Structure 1
């Protein structure tokens, strides 16, 4: 059976696994057991036990770090559901009980059965526990984890099973090949947002520009632009002081803090009309309030104020477009990320002082970034 094969793969390859089964119909390389055998075998002697339901007596036969596999069992805390089986693991006690690197990745993959990115996430979690990179996983697959690393992995897996985003668990997210610190106070940077940075890089390369980033969050847009355009200077605003603290941390780590000014305030409100910029960028909240409850569990951990907006998610586009002219230099550009199917409505909001320039599609072919320029 596939479940038996999976369990054997989880065990150390250098030894023949010791597996017991209380299910007579299972055809697998394991010792057939009856309820009477529970008291005959030495406790904690099996690498894995297959049983029809949970019992402390069955679990007592599993060695530290070993597995109890239950058939047709309901999910329980610290357990993994896989192909109608529930898999539970005994806590490790010593370094002899731990998983190998290869087994740790596979065990993580099973734990993350709900994630479409479980393959990548499994590697990321193991790399984090080992403080190593991906090449290490492939070079030393049979190296055993230490007790501390194994226990940390289990803790992180339990957090991910609560649907906490992996970026919050690891407290970092890569964006434009840079590393950004993130926590529950800032939106996790998305690949689609990189389209804004790429456009500014291509359009304003080797130019001395002054830009404004509205609702900066982690600062990923402004900081990435500053990293790749050394002549640029940016002002970045956010209503959340906690978000600005994270943006400050990211600006320092990525070496651009001297070229960015962080301002606490709501969109354009902190600025005087005489302050004008070559470019204004923003990834404003654009999810309608009535859609919030239908979002995936991971999104519920991100700050709602960075996700949702009034007017079916269009409020901040209207607010920014109505005021942007007074803050743009002649020919200056306003570049904003948009939500799914919002482009026609946002384009229709453009006031007479501004004009539509272009729209950029994301890799899925969705209109994702709108570019508007000042006429005068």
Structure 2
């Protein structure tokens, strides 16, 4: 890492940081986000006052941030927050960093014709991103969330409290701690489960190197948890209830086949911001459909 002088303008600091972060796919964005955090200002401020000189303590903190980012540490871990669905969520190394593409899952759930006070479950909630986004848009929904990680549960509860969103969050290995009584069924179940294969080379690249493998990797070429949820959700959905899953860009066909073989109807997929099939969803038949089969 090149040495920094004791006095440096915003423009010069950004130029230096971009050089240090040249291996990143977004060196300018990284440099600006980190400097904005150091200065406790917006990125617009950086362009409004480009000649402002940084204080020595600010330069030292910026240097530390840039060094850690250069090592590959995620921006979200450095800042301790990540925005998702316009909500600022606390993040840490206990679970996945919320991705923009997961907002497609939220948007799809919001398009469903669910009861006004629908019961909704988020499986493997992590930071609580999906559950909290849904609750923020549909305050009358009864939203619950589970995660097998105690640390993730604590994090999600902290985010819910900070955002003042009433979501029930508990520790559970998928459905293990939940009641399967018909009267306690859900109108909608959503999940972004692990779906990466154990030998996927992307596990050694980018931000995922700093995220827990248990939240990323699944057996059966990444499909084990997807298949398990599709099969088990039948006992936790109300008649006419929906199951929505995020999955890998090559797993839509597998999910659709699993849905159909398990008796679901209205099977479909939705595309992410890169135009790849990222979400698959289906409906558990209503009672009249079940008796008619």
* Band the TM-score falls in, shorter-chain normalisation: over 0.9
Q: How far 1:230 moved relative to its partner? A: 1.3
The structure carrying a bigger helix percent of its residues is: 2
Q: How far 1:326 moved relative to its partner? A: 1.2
What is the correspondence of 1:26-41 to structure 2 with a 5 Å cutoff?
none
Question: Equivalent residue for 2:270?
Answer: 360
Cα distance, 1:349–1:227 mapped onto 2, change above 3 Å: same
Cα distance, 1:156–1:218 mapped onto 2, change above 3 Å: same
Cα distance, 1:325–1:305 mapped onto 2, change above 3 Å: same
Show structure 1 runs of 5+ residues with no match. Answer: 1-78, 80-87
User: Is 1:104 paired with 2:13?
Assistant: yes
Question: Equivalent residue for 1:267?
Answer: 174
CA distance in 1, matches of 2:263, 2:59: 60
Show structure 2 runs of 5+ residues with no match. Answer: 287-293
Q: Which of 117, 123, 129 does residue 220 from structure 1 map onto? A: 129
Question: Equivalent residue for 1:89?
Answer: 3
Question: Normalized against structure 2, the TM-score is what?
Answer: 0.92
CA distance in 1, matches of 2:76, 2:203: 21
Q: How far 1:352 moved relative to its partner? A: 3.9
**Other structure's SS at 1:372 match:** strand
**Other structure's SS at 1:116 match:** coil
Alignment coverage as a number of residue pairs: 283
CA distance in 2, matches of 1:312, 1:216: 22
Bigger mean CA deviation after superposition, 123-132 or 283-292? 283-292
- Mapped contact 2:231–2:262 kept (Cα < 8 A): no
Question: Equivalent residue for 1:198?
Answer: 107
- Mapped contact 2:123–2:189 kept (Cα < 8 A): yes
Q: Which of 12, 17, 25 does residue 116 from structure 1 map onto? A: 25
CA distance in 2, matches of 1:199, 1:345: 19
- Mapped contact 2:82–2:98 kept (Cα < 8 A): yes
CA distance in 2, matches of 1:295, 1:367: 23
What is the correspondence of 1:281-360 to structure 2 with a 5 Å cutoff?
281-291=190-200, 295-350=204-259, 351-360=261-270
Structure 1 ranges of 4+ moved more than 6 A? none
What is the correspondence of 1:67-86 to structure 2 with a 5 Å cutoff?
79=1
The structure carrying a bigger strand percent of its residues is: 1
CA distance in 2, matches of 1:361, 1:138: 35
RMSD: 1.5
User: Is 1:244 paired with 2:158?
Assistant: no
Q: Which of 67, 85, 107 does residue 176 from structure 1 map onto? A: 85
CA distance in 1, matches of 2:129, 2:41: 25
Q: How far 1:141 moved relative to its partner? A: 0.9
Greater gyration radius: 1
**Other structure's SS at 2:199 match:** helix
Q: How far 1:356 moved relative to its partner? A: 4.1
Q: Please give the per-residue CA displacement for 1:4-45, whole angstroms capped at 9, x wherever unaligned.
A: xxxxxxxxxxxxxxxxxxxxxxxxxxxxxxxxxxxxxxxxxx
CA distance in 2, matches of 1:198, 1:293: 27
- Mapped contact 1:206–1:231 kept (Cα < 8 A): no
**Other structure's SS at 1:289 match:** coil
CA distance in 2, matches of 1:364, 1:223: 24
